[in-house]
Amino acid sequence: MARHTRDDAAVTRARILASAQQLIRQRGLHCVTVDDVARAIGMTRGAVYGHFRSRAELLGALLCCAEADFTARLAPLVQRGAGTGPDALEQALQAILHGDELARHVSLVAALLQHKCGAACELCPLRERVLRGVEALRVTFAMLLPAPGLAGLLLAHLWGLLGAHAMHLAPAGLSGSAAALARLYRGQAALSAARACCRSDTTSHAILMRDTP
């Protein structure tokens, strides 16, 4: 009998993860079982459980891949201190939108975000992890935006682009949108500041008029 090496195990584990990810993109998270994952790559369910003790552990490993991809995109910016430069927002947007890798995680992350459960289940802890990751990303973009309050809106905008790409409704090469997005949100920040200034001036004029004999 052939002996299985650590490298063999790593290759098999990667095949299982790739199969699960592909099926989730095609069918949706709730329509994918361990049996489906195993069947798609010619394995038995027991063989899959030899690498992942449960469906939740398999999904957790997929979520780890998503978290690692997002972290890797933004890490170089942090290391270079790009967050303090004038082009930091555009660089961060390019990092998120470059290539096709992040779009492959959309189906899993979306399903976890939409998950609702009245009692604790295998998906609830994963959903909490996603929510923490989203908040960390929002804080990161808030530090890059002239108007931090726009960070949530920008995340929704980015998620829409990645989702459209995942459904093949948007072309590859989304990083070409980074410059336009950066200009848009810098412009929105300037507009918000101008409106705030106008409101302040209007209030001041009202006070002056009220206090004038």
Q: Is the pLDDT of residue 3 over 60?
A: no
Angle CA(32)–CA(35)–CA(40) in degrees, nearest 5? 80
Q: Contact at 8 Å (CB) between 54 and 117?
A: no
Q: Is the pLDDT of residue 196 over 90?
A: no
pLDDT digits (tens, 9 = 90+) for 165-187: 888 787 666 878 888 899 898 88
Q: Measured between alpha carbons, how far is residue 196 from residues 3, 141, 151, 199 in Å? A: 70, 22, 18, 5
| pLDDT at residue 80 in the model | 61
Q: Contact at 8 Å (CB) between 92 and 141?
A: yes
Q: Bigger pLDDT: 75 or 112?
A: 112
Q: What number of other Cβ atoms are within 10 A of residue 5's Cβ?
A: 9
Q: How far is residue 123 CA from its own chain's centroid?
A: 17
* pTM, full prediction: 0.79
**How far, in Å, CA of 127 to CA of 133, rounded?**
10
What torsion, rounded to 10 degrees, do the Cα atoms 120, 125, 130, 134 define?
A: 80
pLDDT band at 209 (very low <50, low <70, confident <90, very high): very low
What torsion, rounded to 10 degrees, do the Cα atoms 199, 202, 204, 208 define?
A: -170
Q: Is the pLDDT of residue 160 over 70?
A: yes
